[in-house]
């Protein structure tokens, strides 16, 4: 009866109903201490590594004491009891095995003789405990005591859940306020449509979004529909009709056209209202400008596609570089054996073709790894001549291509970048002439500049379109006909090369693009010396060759053994480590990409075993940064010649 009265008093305590967790727990602790006649009552909360008192009350002095901490490791039996029991009642705390581990350090100094502890469970999880500590010898807890203590634990859990819910509601309310403020700041607009009269009302923000003066509204629903992009009108009508039939929320994303030619993406949402007979009366909702989100989504999708293409390009280039190493290396070995002029011409053809192929793979690797290319001088006129067959094929039968080159015009720029400019301008001209026509491309010198002129006789462009043609992803074409990146790429490349790109156009008159780039000195001519010869003499070496591509390995083995070197071939990382078990070689030649273990991992392990071991690494990829520990290790980029390999070995052995 006493305990019941105590609970009734608790629920009337202003602190308990204050909504403040600290005040509620203080009221609960004082009630429990008085009802159970315990000297000390505490609420402990679980934290990392143990439990800590949040509130500790001493009834004898009426004081709230400093917090304490009990480690999980210091009381495993006690914590196990809390996790597995509804209530932990200990009549003789200083003799009970569950509390033996903290008897001397906690119970005895405070003369605590008995404990009645109620776990605090929130959503089935132990989060704390209400500890009733009897001071002054053992105490036998009655069933009534135990029931009351369990109720106190439940009330503590209730107070915690209430506080958590209140905190969550407060956080949600704050978040709602933040969202509302953000929506207002972002120009979210409202609208209403009276279905019976077909009248439409717009908020001032919505009128501004559509490029109209504040206070403007469409005369009716048809006026608004005329502002929707033609390709989206059918979907908008169907969505409104479905919302009217089903009563579900109307939600649509579609394009709208402003009078200035700008195209926007909007997200419109609305709810239908009905009369007593169930007939639709009106719809009201919100509109949000989602153009930026759409642009970002499209950019992300395109970026992911480019990343995938880059990885593919890098992989293809790596494999192709291995093949080129074998092809060019074998050709050089043949060149050293044959004196026949006919054979020499054929070998030179193989080597020159391999060199051109190697340049292509370097471009692929630069694209795949997003690395800046060197910018050698490129003859813009020769580039146009070389690309003319490709351009004519790409333009199609209805477009007649006319080109003119006024002599050599060297500019600073990678040939791949300049090809992109030329191709994008040609494609733009083709698309401007859907019925066919003449496309003229001219390269001319106007010292100190070179000019690339691409002129079509197509539909031309309006001034508001010209103002935005170099913006990324801006396009007047359907999505299936273009990405909106072509002219943006041209502008970016030309700007990077310190040039300019200008356009002269008029609707119905065609367009003339002029790219102006600074002239550059022609590149130095390649020397006419005989092919680099390898060192004439090198002492025979013990070489460990680690290369997983068998064709490359066969070539390198032939080259190295022809010079008297004793070579052990390991086709993988683990095989290389096995070979190192038999002793240190004179030099380690190791590919970067290997199965099992990577090349850098093999080299680091080899240097760990044999710290002064000369190492030469090879790679078919672009020379990525090696680990810091290998920053000084020489790196040979494929494809390389046999002579270059032998020279690098000679240099390493001389350095050693």
Helices 2-12 & 21-36 angle (0-180, nearest 10): 160
User: 180 pLDDT exceeds 60?
Assistant: no
Per mean pLDDT, which range of 353-357, 475-479, 555-559 is the poorest?
475-479
CATH code of the domain made up of 189-289:
3.30.450.20
Q: Identify the weakest region by mean pLDDT among 208-212, 348-352, 485-489.
A: 348-352
Tell me if 243 sits within 8 A of 272, measured CB to CB.
Answer: yes
| Residue 567 Cα distances to 540, 554, 631, 647, angstroms | 10, 11, 26, 17
Judged on CB neighbours under 10 Å (0-12, 13-18, 19+), 481 is exposed
Q: What pLDDT score does 529 carry? A: 42
**What are the boundaries of each domain within the chain?**
2-166, 189-289, 312-369, 377-518, 542-655
Give the residue carrying structure tokens 């002439």. Answer: 433
- Cα–Cα distance measured from residue 451 to residue 507, given in angstroms and rounded to the nearest whole number: 24
Considering only 127-141, 240-254, 470-484, which range has the smallest mean pLDDT?
Answer: 470-484
654: Cβ contacts below 8 Å, ≥ 6 apart = none
Q: Which two tokens stand for residue 326?
A: 């074998």
Q: What is the pLDDT confidence band of residue 291, given thresholds at 50, 70 and 90? A: confident
Give me the residue label for tokens 């591509």.
549
Once rounded to an integer, what is the mean pLDDT over residues 487-515? 86
pLDDT digits (tens, 9 = 90+) for 64-117: 999 889 888 888 999 999 999 989 999 999 999 999 999 998 999 999 999 999
pLDDT of 363 higher than 80: no
**642 and 329 Cβ atoms separated by less than 8 Å:** yes
The answer to which of 131-145, 314-328, 364-378 has the lowest mean pLDDT is: 364-378
- Asked if 30 contacts 57 with a C-beta cutoff of 8 angstroms, the reply is yes
Domain 377-518 in the same topology as domain 2-166: no
Instruction: Give residue-wise pLDDT tens across range 403-429.
Output: 999 988 999 887 877 888 898 899 999
Output the pLDDT for position 343: 67
Beta carbons of 264 and 281 less than 8 angstroms apart? no
Task: Enter the DSSP assignment of 231.
Answer: G
pLDDT at 278 over 90: no
Q: Give which of 497, 495, 475, 501 is closest to 486, Cα–Cα.
A: 475
- Inform me whether the pLDDT recorded for 310 exceeds 80: no
Average pLDDT (389-411) is: 91
Q: What pLDDT, on a 0 to 100 scale, did the predictor assign at position 453?
A: 96
Q: Please report the pLDDT score of residue 582 as a whole number.
A: 87
Q: Which residues pair with 255 in a beta bridge?
A: 265
Residue 535 has pLDDT above 80, yes or no: no
Q: Which two tokens stand for residue 262?
A: 């700008």
Q: Count of CB atoms within 10 A of residue 471's CB? A: 13
The CATH H-level (homologous superfamily) assignment of domain 2-166 is: GAF domain (3.30.450.40)
pLDDT, residue 312, reads: 63
What per-residue confidence (pLDDT) applies to 123? 86
**Rounded to whole angstroms, how far apart are CA atoms 512 and 380?**
18
Fold of the domain built from segment(s) 542-655: Rossmann fold (3.40.50)
Closest CA to 89 of 71, 116, 64: 116
Q: Which two tokens stand for residue 190?
A: 């409202």
Question: Do residues 583 and 639 make contact, with C-beta atoms less than 8 angstroms apart?
Answer: no
Q: Which residues pair with 379 in a beta bridge?
A: 410
The yes or no reply on domain 377-518 and CATH 3.30.70.260 is no
Q: How far apart are CA 643 and CA 456, in angstroms?
A: 52
Q: How far apart are CA 635 and CA 590, in angstroms?
A: 10
Average pLDDT (325-338) is 69
Residue 443 pLDDT > 90: yes
Those residues with Cβ within 8 angstroms of residue 618's Cβ, 6 or more apart along the chain or in another chain: 547, 589, 590, 591, 592, 635, 636, 637, 638, 640
**Over 50: is that where the pLDDT of 450 sits?**
yes
Average pLDDT, the chain: 83
Report pLDDT digits (tens) over 203-258: 777 887 888 887 788 888 888 888 899 999 999 999 988 888 888 889 888 999 88
Rounded mean pLDDT, 139-161: 92
Query: Which segment of 103-107, 299-303, 378-382, 556-560 scores lowest on mean pLDDT?
Result: 299-303
Tell me the mean pLDDT in the region 134-150: 93
């Amino acid at each position: 009866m006493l305990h019941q009265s105590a609970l009734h008093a608790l629920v009337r305590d202003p602190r308990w109903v204050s909504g403040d967790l600290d005040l509620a727990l203080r009221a609960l602790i004082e009630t429990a201490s008085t009802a159970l006649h315990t000297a000390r009552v505490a609420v402990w909360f679980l934290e990392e590594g143990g439990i800590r008192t949040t509130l500790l009350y001493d009834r004898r002095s009426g004081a709230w004491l400093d917090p304490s901490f009990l480690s999980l490791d210091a009381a495993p039996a006690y914590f196990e009891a809390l996790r597995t029991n509804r209530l932990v009642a200990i009549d003789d705390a200083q003799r009970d095995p569950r509390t033996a581990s903290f008897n001397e350090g906690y119970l005895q100094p405070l003369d605590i003789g008995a404990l009645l502890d109620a776990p605090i469970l929130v959503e089935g999880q132990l989060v704390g405990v209400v500890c009733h500590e009897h001071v002054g010898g053992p105490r036998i807890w009655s069933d009534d005591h135990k029931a009351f203590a369990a109720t106190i634990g439940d009330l503590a859990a209730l107070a915690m859940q209430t506080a958590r819910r209140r905190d969550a509601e407060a956080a949600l309310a704050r978040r709602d306020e933040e969202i509302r403020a953000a929506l207002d700041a972002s120009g979210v607009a409202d609208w209403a449509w009276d279905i019976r009269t077909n009248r439409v009302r717009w908020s001032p923000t919505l009128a501004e979004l559509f490029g109209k003066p504040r206070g403007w509204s469409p005369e009716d629903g048809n006026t608004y529909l005329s502002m929707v992009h033609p390709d989206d009108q059918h979907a908008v009508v169907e969505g409104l009709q479905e919302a009217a039939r089903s009563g579900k929320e109307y939600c649509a994303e579609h394009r709208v056209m402003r009078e200035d030619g700008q195209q926007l993406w909007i997200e419109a949402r609305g709810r239908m209202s009905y009369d007593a007979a169930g007939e639709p009366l009106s719809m009201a909702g919100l509109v949000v400008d989602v153009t930026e989100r759409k642009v970002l989504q499209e950019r992300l999708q395109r970026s992911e596609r480019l990343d995938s293409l880059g990885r593919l390009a890098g992989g293809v280039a790596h494999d192709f570089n291995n093949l080129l190493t074998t092809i060019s290396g074998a050709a050089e070995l043949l060149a050293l054996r044959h004196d026949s002029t006919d054979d020499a011409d054929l070998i030179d053809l193989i080597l020159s073709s391999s060199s051109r192929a190697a340049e292509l793979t370097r471009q692929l690797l630069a694209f795949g790894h997003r690395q800046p290319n060197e910018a050698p001088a490129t003859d813009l006129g020769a580039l146009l001549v070389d690309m003319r067959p490709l351009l004519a094929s790409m333009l199609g039968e209805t477009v007649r291509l006319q080109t003119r080159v006024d002599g050599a015009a060297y500019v600073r720029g990678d040939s791949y970048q300049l090809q992109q400019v030329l191709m994008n301008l040609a494609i733009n001209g083709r698309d401007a002439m859907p019925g066919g026509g003449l496309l003229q491309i001219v390269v001319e010198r106007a010292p100190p500049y070179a000019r690339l002129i691409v002129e079509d006789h197509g539909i031309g462009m309006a001034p508001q379109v010209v103002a935005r043609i170099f913006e990324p992803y801006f396009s007047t074409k359907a999505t299936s006909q273009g990405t909106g990146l072509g002219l943006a790429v041209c502008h970016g490349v030309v700007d990077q090369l310190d040039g300019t790109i200008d356009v002269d156009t008029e609707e119905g008159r065609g367009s003339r693009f002029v790219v102006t780039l600074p002239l550059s000195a022609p590149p130095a001519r390649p020397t006419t010396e005989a092919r680099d010869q390898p060192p004439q003499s090198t002492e025979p070496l013990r070489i460990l060759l680690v290369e997983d591509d068998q064709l490359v390995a066969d070539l390198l083995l032939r080259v190295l053994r022809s010079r008297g070197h004793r070579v052990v071939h390991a086709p993988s990382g683990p095989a290389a480590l096995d070979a190192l078990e038999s002793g240190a070689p004179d030099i380690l030649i190791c590919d970067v990409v290997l199965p099992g273990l990577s090349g850098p991992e093999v080299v680091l392990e080899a240097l760990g075993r044999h710290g002064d071991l000369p190492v030469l690494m090879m790679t078919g990829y672009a020379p990525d940064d090696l680990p810091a520990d290998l920053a000084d290790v020489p790196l040979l980029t494929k494809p390389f010649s046999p002579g270059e390999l032998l020279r690098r070995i000679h240099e390493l052995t001389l350095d050693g």
